[in-house]
Structure 1
Amino acid sequence: MSTRSIIQHHSQPFHKLPKITLKHLLIALLLLVHLLPIWIVKYFPTQDGPSHIYNAQLFKEYHDHQNFRIRDVYQLNWTPFPNWTTHLLMAMLMYIFPPLICEKIVLSLCVLGLPLALFYFLRVIDRSKVILSLVGVIYSYHYLLMMGFYNFSLSVPVFFWALGYWWKHRSNITPKRLASGQPLVGFYLLLTLTYFSHFQSFFLLVISISVFAGLLFLFSLRTDKTGLSFTGRLRPLLYFVTYMAPVYTVALTYYFSKTQGYGRNYRKLSWLNEYFFNLKSLVYFRNNHIWIGQFLFVVLAVLLFCSLWRRGTKFLGKSSAETRFSFESTDLFLVMFLILTLIYYISPNNIQSGGGWINDRVHIYLVLMLLPFLTIAFHRHLQYILIAILVGLSLWHLAYTVHDNFFLDREIAEMTESVDLIAENSTIVLYLDKPGQRFSAALGEIDYVKPFLHVGSYYCLDNRVALLRNYEAALDYFPVNYQYQMNTRPYSGPKTSYPRQADYVLAWRMTSAGVSKLEQETLGQDYRRIHTAERYILYHLNQYKPDMNWWTDTPNGSRRELVFDFQPKKGTAAPNSISVSPMSKYENQAYQYGWLTESKLTSSSQIEQPDPLFRDAITSTTKADGVFKVVLPNGHYRVTCFFWVDAKNPISLIANGEKVIQNARQTDATGFIKQVYIITITDQQLIQIVYTTGQSWNWCGCKIQPIGHSSGA
């Protein structure tokens, strides 16, 4: 090669940048406009969305031992169930952004992801049909998104990315190319993302890919001209079954574990027909969306008729049977559309194991799966008309959504105006009745989505509050579950058996009759109203004024040191000390000291220990922190804590939000240590949280000594 040619070769750019045209700018503008319903409001109105935000924050904050009430009510569920993606994504984003912004980012991915995924999918199948990705713009806001099913809504674009990726690379996934591994690794990654987003999308993806692989093999038997033996032609299918074997194992294992032995509920045929022909997967807050669904159905039906007509005339025009029965790759999507339609009609709507809205989910897929089969080989003026219709329908759909979100956001803002009244590390429970959940002052009756059902979750953001009516925590396919499951106890609502009275009760959009019944039969004299608004009432558990003189030595008010001896229930306390057993609970300040949480605590003894304060200890595992509260006058104090420790079980302690002891370990062969810290009390209480990074902790007691003068104010 000459020097001149080398220079010319290296002067050429490696990649030619695509030219940005007015068409590209208009498409970008259309997509950005569709983000308006998310970003023009503070609260995006969905049914389950507030609950997902709260539980994602629970997952993120659970490791912080200062969240002792949350850690006492909940436990983490690390099972690799197929419902993780958006919870994990929001939890990670919360390290950078506030919770409401994290939700908007996830929503933006759902809204933009679907049309972009369809664009990729259609471009891979038949790039002449990318116009139909505009249907994805219409479907960017759908019923299941507004229900707050974020994992499923994100799984839909991932489904089409994965299906398009497999279609594009299916011929490259062979033993000869497995050394590089890139196509198969990419395919597995997309399958994994689909699985952890939603199982139904994952299962339908596995079915779709398997159907396509099987049909492609059957059609290849008719069209193969290479003269290969049947075994040779069977080899690609065997490769496919081999790399799909682990996928089938995962899919079938989870499917049977969640379907066998569980009851099922089915929709009536009339309901299924109405939903199918009106494309009611586009309907959420108002019936006006049905017009959009009906118009879109007509457009798709016309395109389907034209596609079938074209295929029919082509079939009749063939001279021989061999050419007459030739197929086009896009025909497979008509077959898959028919299979999904069958699944739609024969599937239950929900299974008692937790799978719900099955028909609604399948409906979205069967509509979008049909798109590659539809012909748009018309005169360009007709194509412009089609584009105008699809864009018009998307903007019509968007206009309703912007309007509804704007007014619902105002109502939600009014319903959350007393959030600042909730104290940290408290509990709150919601009570509601059905009539108030479907009515909006701006929109009237809402027939489909309940946008106010879980708005109470906003009362628990950024304040370490445990929500006792948390539907996700009662289900095994969410990351946060209850510690105390599903037994009826007073004041705790229908979804938890946490054995303490809730600190706050929220009467949520209840009728006057419902409020009256709640106050008379459930709350009684234990609660008082602290805020009354048009659509809710906030109650607070009555508080007892703490007795600042409870530990005085003489009538003139001089004070002595406090010594707490932690020991078994019937143990003998050290001289001049207060006995504290695992059952010594701090109950609503009726007592001036005690354990704040319900975690299981035990006790142990070492009789041979000469120091009486070291003979006994309260103990528990790494899963349960010890949270001990003492009422004290404001002032400065020296606190000495006594522990049993060893090399494997270091002790840490937080006092009033400050980490004062960190990973304290044994200093001699006895394993007994004393740790001293100085603290200033400003809110008449000392809350100590002890925990370990090992297997268990052992706390023998503590001594509290005033330093100088301390006031009771």
Structure 2
Amino acid sequence: MRDDMIARKFDKLEKYVFLTVIAISLLPVLTNTFLPTMDGAAHLYNSNLINALLFENNPQIHEFFVLNQEPVPNWIGHFILAVFNLFLPSFVAEKILVLFYLIAFPLSFRALLKTIHPENYVVFSYLIFPFSYSFLFLLGFYNFSIALLLLFITLNYWIKNEDHLFSKKNIFVLFLLTTLTYFSHIFIFGLLLFFIGVHIVTKAVMTLVDNYPLQVKEAGKSVLKKSGIVLLSAFVPLLLLLNYFLSRDTPGNANFLEYSELIKWLKEIRPIIVYDFVFEATYTKKIFYVLMAMTVVSLYLQITGRFFSRGNPSPSAKGKIVLSNFWLILALSMLLFYFVLPDSDGTAGFVSVRLGLLFFIVLIIWLSTQRLPKWFTILGVLVVLYCNLRLTVYYSSVIRDLDNVAVECYEMSEKIAPNSVVLPLNYSDNWLAPHFSNYLGVDKPMVILENYECATGYFPVKWNEAKIPATLLGTTPPEQYSCLEWKSNAQSSLKKPIDYVFILGDIDSGTDSCTASIKENLEQNYSLISKTENCQLFKRKT
């Protein structure tokens, strides 16, 4: 009785510890206005455009932009931002999305571990924290990050209910989860189906190991029935996936990374290095060594327990060994894909980083199914949490500096009249800042002529190619500048001069003849109306 009371008190205390670690991880977001990322400003701007296209009769916006009629992935993050941006400032909408992810990501991972191995989930769930602020998340890949969250939730639901999937309710829930995953990110959707497929086969093998040859037919039937449920539940997103690939051209040249580079990335855990390779690798390498030490000890204990223990494992024990190693099979699959698949193919990018991230996450799930010495596990977790704390503090300082620039851009929009056409010029030396100009339009309707999402065809907003006019810098079209390009339709009879020119960084750092020509144009046709430490805004002379 007393032991039960102590255990309950420990469980309650441990939950508060876990929540405290989550709270600490939120500080970089809570202590700044924006979470400045490479693509985050573009997501906010296009979410504002979605609302303008849907709910406002705004000829200028409709002239340049149109909603993508194809049900493409990458909708979920934009949808959430657009909904909250209807009645909240953009920076609050972003905070809601980002905080939701940073809270739900570790909690959903912890819930998955609890389902898989209730005895080990408490300690091993702390290992996920360094992977919350991944390289991809801090690049602004919000849809991919949400898809990872949905991957945990869907796998958890599948494992809990796989033997009771034949009700309409369960099929509907699976349909909803797989569809949401598709509309979050196509890559994770494909991996979700792959994971579930491997799990179905693994459970069948476990059944055969436990009861061979009595359960051969039952195992076969189970595989067919469960596969049928998956196909039925994912039928709609699978059709959308087929349409997505059939409606696109063959990808371009594949770009493969050197094996030496890929191995180096694994040792450094490149998927969680963002701003400074040297500083961050000091801590990410320690995390790598902890995970590898746990892996080696787990394999050693498993091999010696299976092959050198007295007697043979019982049938049931053999089945459990097979099922626990399902996660090892997935981790090795991610590692194989990591070395075999190209890093990019002309359309998809950062493939190696995505697969590396998934490898480490799945490896942690597998480790949670192993019986490691408690002292060894706790020591490893403490090292990982220390490294995570140091990285979080460092992220806070970098994000604070980036936020200062983002706020400057955002506040510059007060000087811009609604529905204006703005040409951004990026002279910043910060590699994360190419889309910071989009902060101008996150809360005000305007046409910003730098919008990478509109050109891809796999985001919710596209350029309205049929109506875009010829946009001119003063009286000069973009074709006359070798160092500059912006969205314009040279064939259009409608000429529209650019209303404002926004400069991020120091234009005087450009000493080439093209930049000199731009400066001359600005001097002749535009007036400087606002200047801050990092930004300048010019307005067309009337």
**Structure 2 equivalent of residue 507 of structure 1:** 503
8 Å CA contact retained: 1:425, 1:464: yes
Q: In the aligned structure 2, how far is the partner of 1:465 from the partner of 1:67?
A: 10
The one-character-per-residue Cα deviations of 1:408-454 (angstroms, maximum 9, x if unpaired) are 22233344443211011111011224xx332xxxxxxxxxxx33222
Of residues 43, 59, 70 in structure 2, which corresponds to 1:68?
A: 59
**Structure 1 equivalent of residue 358 of structure 2:** 365
8 Å CA contact retained: 2:297, 2:372: no
Of residues 452, 474, 480 in structure 1, which corresponds to 2:461?
A: 480
Kindly tell me the number of residue pairs found equivalent between the two proteins: 507
Q: In the aligned structure 2, how far is the partner of 1:514 from the partner of 1:335?
A: 52
8 Å CA contact retained: 1:129, 1:372: no
Q: In the aligned structure 2, how far is the partner of 1:256 from the partner of 1:368?
A: 32
Matches within 5 A, 1:31-430: 31-130=22-121, 131-173=123-165, 178=166, 180-224=167-211, 227-228=214-215, 230-246=216-232, 247=234, 249-250=238-239, 251=241, 254-255=244-245, 260-287=250-277, 288-317=279-308, 319=311, 327-352=321-346, 354-374=347-367, 377-430=371-424
8 Å CA contact retained: 1:424, 1:464: yes
**Letter in structure 2 aligned against 1:509:** G
8 Å CA contact retained: 1:146, 1:284: yes
Of residues 8, 15, 19 in structure 2, which corresponds to 1:28?
A: 19
Q: In the aligned structure 2, how far is the partner of 1:163 from the partner of 1:513?
A: 51
Q: CA deviation at 1:78?
A: 3.1
The one-character-per-residue Cα deviations of 1:361-395 (angstroms, maximum 9, x if unpaired) are 11111111112321663454444323322322221
SS in structure 2 at match of 1:264: coil
* Structure 1 gap ranges (5+): 1-16, 439-449, 544-713
**Structure 1 equivalent of residue 516 of structure 2:** 517
Describe the shift of the 1:267–1:517 C-alpha distance in structure 2 as closer, same or farther (beyond 3 A).
farther
Describe the shift of the 1:254–1:413 C-alpha distance in structure 2 as closer, same or farther (beyond 3 A).
closer
**Letter in structure 2 aligned against 1:244:** V
Higher mean alpha-carbon deviation, 205-214 vs 240-249, is at 240-249
Higher RCO (C-alpha under 8 Å, 6+ residues apart): 2
* Structure 2 gap ranges (5+): 1-7, 479-483, 490-494
**Structure 1 equivalent of residue 492 of structure 2:** none
Q: In the aligned structure 2, how far is the partner of 1:256 from the partner of 1:121?
A: 35
Q: CA deviation at 1:156?
A: 0.9
SS in structure 2 at match of 1:531: strand
Matches within 5 A, 1:673-684: none
**Letter in structure 1 aligned against 2:255:** N
8 Å CA contact retained: 2:75, 2:459: yes
Q: In the aligned structure 1, how far is the partner of 2:252 from the partner of 2:198?
A: 27
Q: In the aligned structure 1, how far is the partner of 2:318 from the partner of 2:446?
A: 66
Describe the shift of the 1:416–1:278 C-alpha distance in structure 2 as closer, same or farther (beyond 3 A).
same
Q: CA deviation at 1:200?
A: 0.7
Larger Rg: 1
8 Å CA contact retained: 1:470, 1:495: no
Matches within 5 A, 1:447-462: 450-462=431-443
8 Å CA contact retained: 1:484, 1:497: no
Q: In the aligned structure 1, how far is the partner of 2:365 from the partner of 2:407?
A: 43
Q: In the aligned structure 2, how far is the partner of 1:221 from the partner of 1:487?
A: 67
More helix by share: 2
Structure 1 residue 471 and structure 2 residue 452: aligned?
yes
Q: In the aligned structure 2, how far is the partner of 1:198 from the partner of 1:541?
A: 41
SS in structure 2 at match of 1:424: coil
Describe the shift of the 1:471–1:255 C-alpha distance in structure 2 as closer, same or farther (beyond 3 A).
same
Q: In the aligned structure 2, how far is the partner of 1:172 from the partner of 1:429?
A: 57
8 Å CA contact retained: 1:471, 1:495: no
Q: In the aligned structure 2, how far is the partner of 1:20 from the partner of 1:233?
A: 38
Q: In the aligned structure 1, how far is the partner of 2:268 from the partner of 2:155?
A: 27
Q: In the aligned structure 1, how far is the partner of 2:131 from the partner of 2:138?
A: 12
TM-score normalised per structure 1: 0.67
Q: CA deviation at 1:199?
A: 0.7
**Letter in structure 1 aligned against 2:502:** L
RMSD: 2.7
Q: In the aligned structure 1, how far is the partner of 2:262 from the partner of 2:249?
A: 22
Q: In the aligned structure 2, how far is the partner of 1:495 from the partner of 1:237?
A: 54
Q: In the aligned structure 2, how far is the partner of 1:522 from the partner of 1:113?
A: 50
Q: CA deviation at 1:403?
A: 1.5
Q: CA deviation at 1:219?
A: 3.5
Q: CA deviation at 1:72?
A: 1.4
SS in structure 2 at match of 1:429: strand
Q: CA deviation at 1:256?
A: 6.1
8 Å CA contact retained: 1:117, 1:160: yes
